[in-house]
Amino acid sequence: MHAPSILVVEDDRHIAELIVCALEPEGFQLRHESSGRAGLNAALSRRPDLIITDYFMPNMGGMGMINALRADPETAGIPILMISAMPVDDDVPVAAALLKPFSIEELLATVANLVPRH
């Protein structure tokens, strides 16, 4: 059995490090990208089990990346967790959303719901 892979797309280095430090000990394989464009390329090439993305980022924001992923049949089914400083509209095509600031416990619980472990 392979360790579930998570792609973290976040331009704030401190938040990205917090997410990685919280999830690595749980046995996830993590990759970090700092822009929507880099995140899209990583998702297309690696097909992660989950994508955690910020809403506002340079060089293609989270919504641009999500729309591109949802338009591609190869990546349309990847669950996406959106993290944002503002509430995420219900019509945004994500599996879940966390409002910044969020707790480690909220992050772990949300990820556990989105990435079933066997």
Q: Tell me the pLDDT tens digit for each residue of 65-96.
A: 999 999 999 999 999 999 998 888 888 899 99
**What domains does the chain contain, in order, with CATH numbers?**
5-114 (3.40.50.2300)
What gap in Å lies between CA 46 and CA 65, rounded to an integer? 15
Residues 6+ away with beta carbon under 8 Å from 98: 81, 82, 83, 84, 106, 107, 110
Q: What's the pLDDT score for residue 89?
A: 86
- Per-residue pLDDT band at 118 (split at 50, 70, 90): low
Q: Is the pLDDT of residue 116 over 90?
A: no
* More confidently predicted of 47 and 117: 47
Q: What's the pLDDT score for residue 19?
A: 97
Q: Is the pLDDT of residue 1 over 70?
A: no
